[in-house]
């Protein structure tokens, strides 16, 4: 129940219409309140008399009619500009980046301001009476309406500049990288994590089948772990946050076998039509990778955007240096009760670099920058296992370059950058000054040397 409520709240926060709707309702309440104040003759502030509207009913109706007509017309223009920006973003940077435009608070506040002012003007307009009708002009409400009209002009100027900046690819890359940094801070821990039970532990366990379909967006780990501890069982999920759940497929194991485990998993999970950045570290990574892959496509051919994405991915890996990725093991009473497959460092590296490396093809500038990024990450990384994973990806880049790059000079440039990387891994930032002969890319002992050098650096 709570998991589905969290999903509902998260979905509401991502919608485009929530903020404009709240602003429209607020404008309606404001209009009714100010008209009521004018009708009660409780507004008697001499200092404000010179600032309040003091015209007649005919002029008030004309004024509010102009405000209402102008704001609804501009709102239509704003909506058209937003749709055009979304179309441009979908074609150049990928449809999955549209959420960065729809959830943008600047766009939402602009549309809400225009629609709210329109509704405000209509409500105040209906309260105006000429002399034959009873003679009532809400001076305070009309004055506030004029202020709102000027505010709409300011919001329109802001919106034009805001949209022009948001469709810039560099801005989009930076915004997505900020999402990635936030996800790293939210989904990582400072302390080392427990290890998963061995595979032999699950012999004789009961398979648990899925009855739904969709991406796993939210998982109540605490609730599911508490259920498992209370029933003295251990549950192993085979799908983690961001994974797709197939109907009828095995989604988990429980040992010893017990009834009710499938219902417990169903109550602790919430599925959706897409992945969610709040629970899946790979989501923001895939958004950045999509921008880079589209930039490397023949139709766009913009390697500079791919280089910018690689820089942000390398910065994210540097942010991960002092942190640990959760292993998804929940412990109760010294015993594991829940195992959730969460993304680990090697899988995260694959999500970051495999598609970019494969799409780079015969573009040596991208291959060189990719190894440069790995070199910078290796300069601050101390974990031997992570250094080994970084070395694996650097070797893949070198192998692809030797196979796809035709010019010998370009292949030599990639090879020299790979040598700088191996020196960085073997001896740290001073390696390029203290060592002259790096290991050969085909050296069978290279992984062992990398692991041993990483261990010695961590001891320092």
DSSP string, 405-419: ---HHHHHHHHHHHH
* CA 145 from centre of chain: 38
Please provide residue 438's backbone torsions phi and psi, each rounded to the nearest 5 degrees: -75, 160
Can you tell me the distance from the alpha carbon of 201 to that of 375, in angstroms, rounded to the nearest whole number? 39
Say which range, 88-97, 112-121, 179-188, 337-346, has the weakest mean pLDDT.
Answer: 88-97
Can you tell me the distance from the alpha carbon of 339 to that of 252, in angstroms, rounded to the nearest whole number? 9
Higher per-residue pLDDT: 178 or 447: 178
Q: Stretch 144-173: mean pLDDT, rounded? A: 87
pLDDT at residue 48 in the model: 55
Instruction: State the Cα angle at 367 between 361 and 368, rounded to 5°.
Output: 150
The model's pLDDT over 202-218, given as tens digits with 9 standing for 90+, comes to 998 999 999 899 999 88
Structure tokens given for 419? 């040598």
321 contacts 387 by C-beta, under 8 angstroms: no
Q: Residue 287 has what DSSP assignment?
A: H
Can you tell me the distance from the alpha carbon of 100 to that of 98, in angstroms, rounded to the nearest whole number? 5
Q: Stretch 8-26: mean pLDDT, rounded? A: 83
Mean pLDDT of the residues in the chain: 84
pLDDT at residue 81 in the model: 77
* 333: confidence class by pLDDT, cuts 50, 70, 90: confident
Alpha-carbon torsion, ordered 241, 312, 95, 345, to 10 deg: -20
Can you tell me the distance from the alpha carbon of 324 to that of 219, in angstroms, rounded to the nearest whole number? 20
The model's pLDDT over 363-418, given as tens digits with 9 standing for 90+, comes to 899 999 999 999 999 999 989 999 999 999 999 999 999 998 889 999 999 999 99
Q: With pLDDT > 70 as the criterion, what percentage of the chain qualifies?
A: 87
Across 260-392, where does the E strand assignment appear? Answer: 269-272, 329-332, 335-339
pLDDT at residue 173 in the model: 87
pLDDT at residue 224 in the model: 93
Q: With pLDDT > 90 as the criterion, what percentage of the chain qualifies?
A: 45
The number of CA neighbours under 13 Å toward the Cβ of 119 is 19
* CA distance from start to end of the chain: 50
Q: In the predicted model, is pLDDT for residue 448 greater than 50?
A: no
Q: Stretch 89-102: mean pLDDT, rounded? A: 70
Can you tell me the distance from the alpha carbon of 410 to that of 365, in angstroms, rounded to the nearest whole number? 9
Most confident of 1-10, 85-94, 190-199, 411-420: 411-420
Q: In the predicted model, is pLDDT for residue 5 greater than 80?
A: no
Can you tell me the distance from the alpha carbon of 133 to that of 96, in angstroms, rounded to the nearest whole number? 56
């Amino acid at each position: 129940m709570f998991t589905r409520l969290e999903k509902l709240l998260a979905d509401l926060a991502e919608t485009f219409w929530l903020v404009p709707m709240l602003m429209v309702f607020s404008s309606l309440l404001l209009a009714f309140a100010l008209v009521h104040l004018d009708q009660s003759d409780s507004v008697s502030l001499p200092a404000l008399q010179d600032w309040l509207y003091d015209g007649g009913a005919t002029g008030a109706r004309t004024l509010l009619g102009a405000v209402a007509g102008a704001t609804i017309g501009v709102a239509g223009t704003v909506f058209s500009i937003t749709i055009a920006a979304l179309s441009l973003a979908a074609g150049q940077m990928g449809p999955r980046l549209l959420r960065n435009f729809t959830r943008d608070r600047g766009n939402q506040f602009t549309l809400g301001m225009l629609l709210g002012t329109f509704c405000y003007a209509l409500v105040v307009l209906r309260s105006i009476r000429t002399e034959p009708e009873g003679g009532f002009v809400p001076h305070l409400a009309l004055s506030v309406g004029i202020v709102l009209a000027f505010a709409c002009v300011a919001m329109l100027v802001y919106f034009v500049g805001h949209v022009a900046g948001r469709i810039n690819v560099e801005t989009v890359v930076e915004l997505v990288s900020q999402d990635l940094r936030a996800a790293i801070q939210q989904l990582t821990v400072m302390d080392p994590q427990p290890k998963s039970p061995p595979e032999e532990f699950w012999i004789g366990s009961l398979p648990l089948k899925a009855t739904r379909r969709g991406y796993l967006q939210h998982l109540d780990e605490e609730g599911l772990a508490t259920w498992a501890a209370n029933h003295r069982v251990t549950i192993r999920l085979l799908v983690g946050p961001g994974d797709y759940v197939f109907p009828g497929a095995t989604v988990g194991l429980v040992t010893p076998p017990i009834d009710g485990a499938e219902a417990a998993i169903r109550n602790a999970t919430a599925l959706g039509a897409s992945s969610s950045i709040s629970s899946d570290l790979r989501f923001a990574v895939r958004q950045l990778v999509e921008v880079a892959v589209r930039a490397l496509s023949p139709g766009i051919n913009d390697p500079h955007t791919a280089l910018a994405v690689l820089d942000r991915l390398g910065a994210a890996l540097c942010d991960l240096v002092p942190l640990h990725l959760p292993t998804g093991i929940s412990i109760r009473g010294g015993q594991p009760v829940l195992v959730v497959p969460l993304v680990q460092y090697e899988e995260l590296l694959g999500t970051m670099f495999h598609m970019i490396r494969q799409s780079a093809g015969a573009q040596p500038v991208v291959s060189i920058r990719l190894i440069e990024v790995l070199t910078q990450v290796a300069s601050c990384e101390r974990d031997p296992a992570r250094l080994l994973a970084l070395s694996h990806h650097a070797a893949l880049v070198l192998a692809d370059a030797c196979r796809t790059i035709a010019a010998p000079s370009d292949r030599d440039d990639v090879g020299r950058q790979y040598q700088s990387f191996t020196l960085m891994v073997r001896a740290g930032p001073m390696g390029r000054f203290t060592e002259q002969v790096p290991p050969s890319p085909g050296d069978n002992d290279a992984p062992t040397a990398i692991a041993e050098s990483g261990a010695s650096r961590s001891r320092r």
